């Protein structure tokens, strides 16, 4: 047998199932990561499982999302996470140390290992040759307790990179080109592997930009081989001992092959309001801009920051533009300061923010009304910036910096022949902001600090034979988790308070939804294709659960959200005939029951539209294990029973 890079890692971590596409496979997880916006819930779930010490090789908790502390809530949650880490064997990255994915890449990623994280951009470490996947918090909690992580065995897509990038064209433009070709649902059920001679021209942080934003394809993950470039990065991080070479077998078989000639790529931008609405920068033209934000887990490496600093050196940010810079990690920030590049940015008029997610998740820096904002980030969903009518374009650091000077969207190739950037031979290594856990012998002395913001999460009951509820909401295609459970500075502090969050559920689509759902006490949601794309936030399942949602019936689901619904005990159903979507209106009275008592690998059910008196066939496309989770009322109940 011959294997791709991803198949090799899956094979060496396989705990259950067969590696044939679509089959449920259980994987041993070597490493986990959490961030603070999903972490509090994940650790509450971990505590509820009653496992005294994590069983992974390495688990790390990062504080990077909720760093605007306008009340006690975030600070309380940070204290809680810090104390749980100390007690239960988890490394704690303190606020100020940077964005989880950037730090994990620098300090902990190891080629050939598996990683799951309670954040959809966990595939960033695929740039290091790890099998790194985003997951719901409960899945991460189970993995910390030593349990397998289950996925449907993906098909394999090879993206063959030819040639090398022209000056001022960036790794960001490569992933934007992939999104242009494949769309936000083109990666569902797939692992995207990069190969071809173009791979050798890309550094690990550039590879990580590409695997990071592979999340926007809906892919299970994206991965690069581990080669001399990988070794050089690990050496520069003082971690050469972690290097393991990893490449596909020469006769590895891929289900799909896509070729991209890097030499012919041009600067690209994803236009409002979707990461796959990609156009050439020169084709969009010189639209007037109001804001430029450089940073996020996609583009905040030292190389990205150097590019911005070099372009801005000796210049002034345009008077109509506000430019923000968020370095990805303390390592990046420190090195920028030491070599003087930070001074170049400050002198040009950039507003320097702390190294954290910041504007990417609407934590400050919302643009002006109707404002055009160029961001080096990965998502431009409606309202995510904090301004409902903000117009967000996703671009490379080169395009962002060039435009910040001119005040209009600008093709960076106009800047000259090539940027003269010399990367240092070694990164500055100082892990003083990463706190190790207490020794096992001392763990019992650690007291868990729970603030008043932490409310119990909704309990679930085993599934009943029939569900009777109204179609409480009907939505269209590509609904994101930012629609279902918005984030931003006003709401994020309440990620450990499901009752409070419930007042914001789906308000991007329908302001009356929370009230209506509370009055009805139960409901079924009707959705289109790719329902639940975007974030891994399990709150997008837990909050609907709290509001009495029993089932979600759609044309198709995004992977992580579907898993989160199952984990919460909410039935994810698909129309057998997608055109039946038109046969249900909001407000119709519905009933769901099994078509036969039998269960094979997908349960056939009937959606009885009582208002229209129509019987619509629907299917619950889940594995036998997932069906058991659903019938027991969710993963926590299931895991508790498994652990006796
Ligand atoms: C995001 O980019 O949407 C987030 C915020 O990082 C989320 C996680 C969350 O909602 O906390 C993600 O991508 O999973
Ligand atoms: Fe943070 Fe934005 Fe990355 Fe999400 S996408 S982890 S909010 S920087």
3-state DSSP of 206-271: HHHHHHHHHHHHCECEEECCECHHHHHHHHHCCCHHHCCCECCCCCCCCCEEEEEEHHHCCCEEEC
Alpha-carbon distance of 23 to 418, in angstroms, equals 48
pLDDT for position 502: 97
Q: DSSP secondary-structure letter at 377?
A: S
Alpha-carbon distance of 111 to 103, in angstroms, equals 15
Ligand closest to 116 (CA) is 1
Ligand closest to 356 (CA) is 2
In the reported structure, the alpha carbon of residue 361 is separated from the centroid of ligand 1 by a whole-number distance in angstroms of: 7
Mean pLDDT of 430-450: 96
Ligand closest to 358 (CA) is 2
- At 376-395, the pLDDT tens digits run 999 999 999 999 999 999 99
Please indicate whether residue 467, judged by its CB atom, sits closer than 6 Å to ligand 2: no
In the reported structure, the alpha carbon of residue 560 is separated from the centroid of ligand 1 by a whole-number distance in angstroms of: 12
In the reported structure, the alpha carbon of residue 35 is separated from the centroid of ligand 2 by a whole-number distance in angstroms of: 10
Please indicate whether residue 144, judged by its CB atom, sits closer than 6 Å to ligand 2: no
Residue whose CA is at the smallest distance from ligand 2 atom 3:
297
In the reported structure, the alpha carbon of residue 295 is separated from the centroid of ligand 2 by a whole-number distance in angstroms of: 10
Residue whose CA is at the smallest distance from ligand 1 atom 4:
535
Q: Is the pLDDT of residue 461 over 90?
A: no
> Worst-scoring range by mean pLDDT, 18-32, 176-190, 313-327, 458-472?
458-472
In the reported structure, the alpha carbon of residue 119 is separated from the centroid of ligand 1 by a whole-number distance in angstroms of: 5
Residue whose CA is at the smallest distance from ligand 1 atom 12:
535
Residue whose CA is at the smallest distance from ligand 2 atom 2:
360
Chain mean pLDDT for the chain: 96
Confidence of residue 640 (pLDDT cuts 50, 70, 90): confident
In the reported structure, the alpha carbon of residue 534 is separated from the centroid of ligand 1 by a whole-number distance in angstroms of: 8
614 forms bridges with which residues in the sheet? Answer: 609
Please indicate whether residue 45, judged by its CB atom, sits closer than 6 Å to ligand 2: no
Please indicate whether residue 357, judged by its CB atom, sits closer than 6 Å to ligand 2: yes
Alpha-carbon distance of 320 to 442, in angstroms, equals 56
Residue whose CA is at the smallest distance from ligand 1 atom 3:
535
Please indicate whether residue 378, judged by its CB atom, sits closer than 6 Å to ligand 2: yes
Mean pLDDT of 90-107: 98
Ligand closest to 118 (CA) is 1
In the reported structure, the alpha carbon of residue 639 is separated from the centroid of ligand 2 by a whole-number distance in angstroms of: 29
Alpha-carbon distance of 58 to 365, in angstroms, equals 34
Determine what percent of the chain is predicted with pLDDT higher than 70.
99
Please indicate whether residue 353, judged by its CB atom, sits closer than 6 Å to ligand 2: no
Q: Is the pLDDT of residue 601 over 80?
A: no
pLDDT for position 13: 98
Residue whose CA is at the smallest distance from ligand 1 atom 13:
535
Ligand 1 pocket: which of 36, 64, 77, 119 to mutate (most atoms within 8 A of CB):
119
For residue 329, give the nearest of 435, 431, 236, 230 by alpha carbon.
431
pLDDT for position 641: 85
- Ligand 1 neighbours (beta carbon < 6 A): 37-38, 65, 119-121, 134, 361, 487, 534-537
Residue whose CA is at the smallest distance from ligand 1 atom 2:
535
pLDDT for position 459: 81
Atom of ligand 2 nearest to the CA of 300: 8
Token readout for 221 is 């993950």
For residue 636, give the nearest of 141, 134, 39 by alpha carbon.
141
- At 229-274, the pLDDT tens digits run 999 999 999 999 999 999 999 999 999 999 999 999 999 999 999 9
In the reported structure, the alpha carbon of residue 63 is separated from the centroid of ligand 2 by a whole-number distance in angstroms of: 12
pLDDT for position 463: 87
pLDDT for position 597: 57
Helix (H) or strand (E) holding 138: helix 137-144
Token readout for 293 is 């934000």
Q: Is the pLDDT of residue 599 over 70?
A: no
3-state SS record for 439-492:
CHHHHHHCCCCCCCCCCCCCCCCCCCCEEEEEEEEECCCCCEHHHHCCCCCCCH
Q: DSSP secondary-structure letter at 108?
A: I
Alpha-carbon distance of 538 to 495, in angstroms, equals 10
In the reported structure, the alpha carbon of residue 360 is separated from the centroid of ligand 2 by a whole-number distance in angstroms of: 6
Cα separations in angstroms, 236 against 26, 229, 389, 462, 524: 34, 11, 43, 52, 53
pLDDT for position 81: 98
Confidence of residue 406 (pLDDT cuts 50, 70, 90): very high
Please indicate whether residue 119, judged by its CB atom, sits closer than 6 Å to ligand 2: yes
Token readout for 443 is 């763990």
Atom of ligand 1 nearest to the CA of 482: 3
pLDDT for position 457: 79
Ligand 1 pocket: which of 535, 541, 542, 563 to mutate (most atoms within 8 A of CB):
535
Mean pLDDT of 11-17: 98
Ligand closest to 124 (CA) is 2
In the reported structure, the alpha carbon of residue 58 is separated from the centroid of ligand 2 by a whole-number distance in angstroms of: 21
Please indicate whether residue 99, judged by its CB atom, sits closer than 6 Å to ligand 2: yes
In the reported structure, the alpha carbon of residue 536 is separated from the centroid of ligand 2 by a whole-number distance in angstroms of: 11
Alpha-carbon distance of 349 to 346, in angstroms, equals 5
In the reported structure, the alpha carbon of residue 57 is separated from the centroid of ligand 2 by a whole-number distance in angstroms of: 25
pLDDT for position 595: 75
Q: Domains for the chain: give ranges and CATH numbers.
A: 5-264 (3.30.499.10), 268-413 (3.30.499.10), 467-642 (3.20.19.10)
Residue whose CA is at the smallest distance from ligand 2 atom 1:
357
Ligand closest to 564 (CA) is 1
Atom of ligand 1 nearest to the CA of 121: 13
Q: Is the pLDDT of residue 598 over 70?
A: no
Confidence of residue 596 (pLDDT cuts 50, 70, 90): low
Count Cβ neighbours within 10 Å for each residue of 135-144 and write b for 16 or more, e otherwise: bbbbbbbbbb
| Contact call for residues 396 and 376 (beta carbons, < 8 A) | yes
Mean pLDDT of 515-521: 98
Tokens 């688990």 — which residue?
59
SS3 content of the chain, % helix, strand, coil (to 5): 35, 20, 45
Cα separations in angstroms, 382 against 274, 362, 474, 573: 8, 11, 18, 26
Q: Is the pLDDT of residue 574 over 80?
A: yes
In the reported structure, the alpha carbon of residue 361 is separated from the centroid of ligand 2 by a whole-number distance in angstroms of: 6
pLDDT for position 464: 86
Please indicate whether residue 221, judged by its CB atom, sits closer than 6 Å to ligand 2: no
In the reported structure, the alpha carbon of residue 537 is separated from the centroid of ligand 1 by a whole-number distance in angstroms of: 6
Peptide bond into 426 cis (omega under 30): no
């Amino acid at each position: 047998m011959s294997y791709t890079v991803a198949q090799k890692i899956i094979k060496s971590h396989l705990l259950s199932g067969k590696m044939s596409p679509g089959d449920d496979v259980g994987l041993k997880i070597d490493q986990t990561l959490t961030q603070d916006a999903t972490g509090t819930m994940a650790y509450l779930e971990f505590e509820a499982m009653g496992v005294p010490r994590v069983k992974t090789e390495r688990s790390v908790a990062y504080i990077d999302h909720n760093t605007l502390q306008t009340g006690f809530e975030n600070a309380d949650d940070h204290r809680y996470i810090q104390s749980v880490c100390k007690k239960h064997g988890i490394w704690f990255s303190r606020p100020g140390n940077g964005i989880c994915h950037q730090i994990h890449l620098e300090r902990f990623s190891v080629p050939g290992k598996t990683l799951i994280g309670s954040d959809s951009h966990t595939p960033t470490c695929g740039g290091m040759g790890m099998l790194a996947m985003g997951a719901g918090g409960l899945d991460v909690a189970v993995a910390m307790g030593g349990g397998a992580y289950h996925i449907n065995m993906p098909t394999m897509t090879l993206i063959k990179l030819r040639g090398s990038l022209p000056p001022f064209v960036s790794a960001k433009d490569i992933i934007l080109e992939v999104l242009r070709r494949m769309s936000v649902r083109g990666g569902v059920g797939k692992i995207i592997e990069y190969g071809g001679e173009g791979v050798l021209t890309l550094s690990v942080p550039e590879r990580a930009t590409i695997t990071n934003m592979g999340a926007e394809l809906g892919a299970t993950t994206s991965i690069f081989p581990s080669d001399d470039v990988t070794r050089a990065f690990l050496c520069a991080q003082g971690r050469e001992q972690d290097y393991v070479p990893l490449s596909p077998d020469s006769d590895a078989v891929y289900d799909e092959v896509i070729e991209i000639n890097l030499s012919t790529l041009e600067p690209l931008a994803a236009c409002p309001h979707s990461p796959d609405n990609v156009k050439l920068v020169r084709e969009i033209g010189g639209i007037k801009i109001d804001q430029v934000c450089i940073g996020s887990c996609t583009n905040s490496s030292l190389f990205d920051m150097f590019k911005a600093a070099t372009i801005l050196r000796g210049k002034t940010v345009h008077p109509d533009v506000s430019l923000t810079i968020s370095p990805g990690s303390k390592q990046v920030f420190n090195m920028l300061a030491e070599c003087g590049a930070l001074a170049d940015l400050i002198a040009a008029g950039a507003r320097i923010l702390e190294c954290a997610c910041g504007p990417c998740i609407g934590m400050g820096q919302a643009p002006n009304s109707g404002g055009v904002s160029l961001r080096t980030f990965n998502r431009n969903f409606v309202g995510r910036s904090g301004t409902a009518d903000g117009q967000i374009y996703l671009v490379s650091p080169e395009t962002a910096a060039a435009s910040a000077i001119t005040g209009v969207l600008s093709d960076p190739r106009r800047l000259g022949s090539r940027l003269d950037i010399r990367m240092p031979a070694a990164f500055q290594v100082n892990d003083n902001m990463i706190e190790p856990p207490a020794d096992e012998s001392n763990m019992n002395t650690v007291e868990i600090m729970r603030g008043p913001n932490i409310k119990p999460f909704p309990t679930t009951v085993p599934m009943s034979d029939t569900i009777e509820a109204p179609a409480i909401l009907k939505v269209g295609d590509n609904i994101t988790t930012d629609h279902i459970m918005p984030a931003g500075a006003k709401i994020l502090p309440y990620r450990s308070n499901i009752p409070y969050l419930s007042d914001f559920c789906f308000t991007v689509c329908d302001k009356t939804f929370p009230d209506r759902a509370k009055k009805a006490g139960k409901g079924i949601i009707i959705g289109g294709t790719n329902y639940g794309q975007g974030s891994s936030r399990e709150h997008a399942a837990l909050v609907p659960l709290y509001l009495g949602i029993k089932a979600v019936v759609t044309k198709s689901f995004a992977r992580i959200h579907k898993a989160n619904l199952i984990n919460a005990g909410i039935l994810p159903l698909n129309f057998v005939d997608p055109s039946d979507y038109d046969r249900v209106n909001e407000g119709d009275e519905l009933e769901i029951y099994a078509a036969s008592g039998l269960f094979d690998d997908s349960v056939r059910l009937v959606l009885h539209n009582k208002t229209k008196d129509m019987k619509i066939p629907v299917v619950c496309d889940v594995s036998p294990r997932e069906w058991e989770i659903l019938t027991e009322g969710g993963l926590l109940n299931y895991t508790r029973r498994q652990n006796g």
